Chain A
């Protein structure tokens, strides 16, 4: 279609030019350009060379250049796409890394809190056990202490009774039974304490 338009218009223009030139007649004299006897040859060779040039360029030169340019643009866009994909991939990896990192962080925090709690309960239980033990042993010791005190007191009473009986026997002629002395000593001791 396009080629045909140029062929038709070439034929029409050449025939019109030839007709016009023939009508105008030879007016040569000044410029060599106006010597119409040279025109047929120029027009003929213009058509021949231009048509050859058109064929060479439209079938050989232009396709090779446009294919190279197309290859380049597809290569560039492909490369850009690949780069974009790689970037997206990297982003994805980064987000997943971040996610796992935060997850690990929260897990670590939970574990730490748990460990702290455990340690606290353990210390508390241990404390309680030790306290119990200590309390038990303190009680025991107290019991023994009071027992010993009672023992000491009772032996002291015995001693006081014996001593008092002996003193009374030495100093006075009164015969006093041990029971009576003991009774008095006990009363006295009760008063004292």
Chain B
């Protein structure tokens, strides 16, 4: 019997190394490639007709585009436009990784803390750099809440700095933990079904219950996959807004 976290094991498909680091092409890498190629390929071919009155696929592609464009526009405004390709790529990468991970025997890229943390940390560094470039040293006034009473300012600045520094952690752990928990739960129920059916007797009939639970949980995981991609995107936009507009 496999452990429920067995599914997260990285398996090298093609061994590679660079400067002494092991950069083998793994099952995780394969699904990263799938996510990127599927997302951009889908959008590219769905937009092929490029007609004024869209067909079904074109409509879907436009909806995805406008969804992200609206998130960016409502959170950041006009100044957010140059960052659209990055935010859109991020959304598509996470969305397709999450959705591909729901297919049995596939691999969930976003269930790896290092992947989500690398993305979240890059966003964190990126928005900090944007804030520093845009506002210079004035950027640090972001840590002083407006309208705070003077004696409280040191404490509030401390809290603000901690909450700012914790952002990449919370952003990455949110996505990672959701994926990890959901997929582990699915595997636990699947393992239960296998165990019950192996036990024989009345347990074989009873194994239908965990199977039914898996069907429901798969629907829930589909929701989580979509929702977490949305949450990651909207938080990125909010951080971007903080960097561009401070308060």
Contacts and interface: CB of A to CB of B under 8 A. Distances in A.
Contact of B113 (A1, A14, A33, A50): A33
Interface string A71-96: 11001000000000000000000000
B22 A37 contact: yes
A159 B82 CA distance: 144
A13 B62 contact: no
B122 interface: yes
A187 B65 CA distance: 139
B66 A69 contact: yes
A97 interface: no
A40 B22 contact: yes
Contacts of A174: none
Interface residues of A, number: 48
Given A33-B114, A46-B32, A49-B32, A41 B24 contact: yes
Contact of B121 (A16, A53, A54, A66): A16
B93 A53 contact: yes
Contacts of B51: 68
Query: What secondary structure prevails in chain B residues at the interface with A?
Result: helix
B8 A65 contact: no
Interface in A29-43: 30-35, 37-43
A45 B52 contact: no
A30 B12 CA distance: 19
Nearest to B123: A9
Contacts of B35: 49, 53
B40 A5 contact: no
Nearest to B91: A57
Interface stretch (B124-132, B140-148, B210-218): B124-132
Contacts of B89: 50, 53-54, 57-58
A44 B121 contact: no
13 contacts: A13-B125, A33-B8, A33-B176, A38-B26, A41-B21, A46-B115, A49-B36, A50-B32, A50-B89, A53-B89, A53-B93, A57-B88, A58-B85
Given A13-B118, A42-B10, A52-B36, 15 more contacts: A2-B86, A5-B130, A31-B8, A32-B10, A37-B22, A38-B10, A40-B23, A49-B35, A54-B85, A61-B44, A62-B88, A68-B47, A68-B54, A69-B62, A71-B52
